[in-house]
Amino acid sequence: MSPVLVGAVTVLVIIVAVFLAYNANNGLPFVSTYDLKARVPNADALVKANEVRIGGARVGVVKSVVPVQLRNGGVEAELTLSLDKSAEPIPKGSTLLIRPKSPLGLKYLQITPGTGTEPLKAGETIPVRYATPEPGDIDKFFDMFNAPTRKAIQRNLAGFGNALAGRGPQLNEAIGALRGLVEQGEPAAATLAAPSTNFSGFFKALEALSATVAPVAQQQASMFVVLDQTFKAFANVSRPYIQETIEKSPPTLETVNAGLPKINPFLRDTARFFTALRPGAKALQETSPIIAESLQAGIPALNASPVLNNQLLPTAQALLAFQQSEGVITGLDLLTDLNKNLKEPLEYVVPTQTKCYYATLLFSNLSSSNSQGNQYGKWLNAIAFEPAEGPNSEGGQASAPANGPGKENHLHFNAYPRTAAPGQEGICEAGNAKYAKGETVVGQSSELLGTTTRELVSKSEGEAE
């Protein structure tokens, strides 16, 4: 029993005990383990030597946490897990979740075994898609109470305090009335709780809506800032303007409700009026340039209208004096009789110009005959020509119409051609009769070149130009 030997053995035992205690978190030496790797989107404060648990029981430790750069530029965390052999095998499809172990921020990795039958082999990696759901820690919960939120909560508390101050009796009455509300609301609550109502789907839809509007949270915040400015502007005019508007709205609505049935016929007539006005509006669209030109041309006339108006009074007085003169009424009666007598002749004479343009052709041809000709002179000048030969030709006296011997030496004459008079079917015969070679035609021609003289007038006017 050497004291030196006892002391040396004691020191060796202490060193071994300290070594084993120091490395206990990483596993005991000479003990086989079940090693796996796992990918998570964010290690979320998980560090080396943190526990790995299954069903709340410790089954291993995290040996290392290493960031991994992805091809798309993103970053994931790769965990190296050292598990006890008792946890083997862990089936594929098992999920990972990083959970808090204490309020001080200590974390551990929870593995929820999957329902598959194929196991994970030692050294295999659990893909990042199984790191679900996203952990929700108490520190993240308290992160939402930042300085602006705390300030807003203080304002809300102050506002609620001011709103509730001095209203104890009313609150007591409200609490007393809550019993009846609960009793009457029980059937509604039962309906909401029924599976057929799918009230849970409503909250899922709210969750989906929140996820949808989350990317535009900044824009929504800006909207509330702008709304705050808008409501401040309303506050400046709330009294008396908005207050009076609210007070006068009920009688105004009553008046409107009473008046609308009476306005309905007017609205129907207005709709019919605008429907009937559409063709006119369409025509106005096409004629608006002409109307604009007319208005521009009418400005000088309107400027000169005062002078005309000043002359209208003495003119009207002169006409009145003329009417009152002796013999004027008798003369007007005679003029009326003359118009009545001329009505029937004019019905036959007027179409010669209004439909057949014979007066226009006459003066146009006279102008052409005095301005056109050939090298020997104008057409109205005397020009020597060789007369047609044959019996009763134009070269001498004749006892009958010309009738040959050539085809061109035949008389064509119509003393009463049709001039679009009543009963003549609007035919302008003079100037449209076709020359029949070798035939003597006296009276109406059997064939016409046309029934109007518009082309003849246009041709004559073109020759005059």
Cα–Cα dist 346/355, whole Å:
13
Kind of pairing, strands 441-442 and 412-413?
Answer: parallel
H/E element, 95: strand 95-100
Those residues with Cβ within 8 angstroms of residue 286's Cβ, 6 or more apart along the chain or in another chain:
none
Cα–Cα dist 319/1, whole Å:
167
Answering whether pTM is above 0.85, one says no
pLDDT values of the chain reduced to their tens digit, one per residue, 465 residues: 677 777 777 777 787 666 655 555 555 555 688 888 888 888 777 888 888 898 888 888 888 888 888 888 888 889 898 888 888 888 888 888 888 877 677 888 888 888 888 888 888 888 888 887 666 666 666 677 788 888 988 989 888 888 888 888 888 888 888 888 888 888 888 888 888 888 888 888 888 888 888 888 888 888 888 888 888 888 888 888 888 888 888 888 888 888 888 888 888 899 999 899 888 888 888 888 888 888 888 888 888 888 888 888 899 988 888 888 888 888 888 889 888 888 888 888 888 888 888 888 888 877 777 676 676 666 666 555 556 666 777 667 778 888 877 777 788 888 888 888 888 888 888 888 888 888 888 888 878 878 787 665 555 544 444
**Structural domain boundaries of the chain?**
1-30, 32-139, 343-370+402-465
CA distances from 99 to 49, 51, 325, 450, 454 (A): 15, 11, 123, 107, 104
Cα–Cα dist 124/109, whole Å:
17
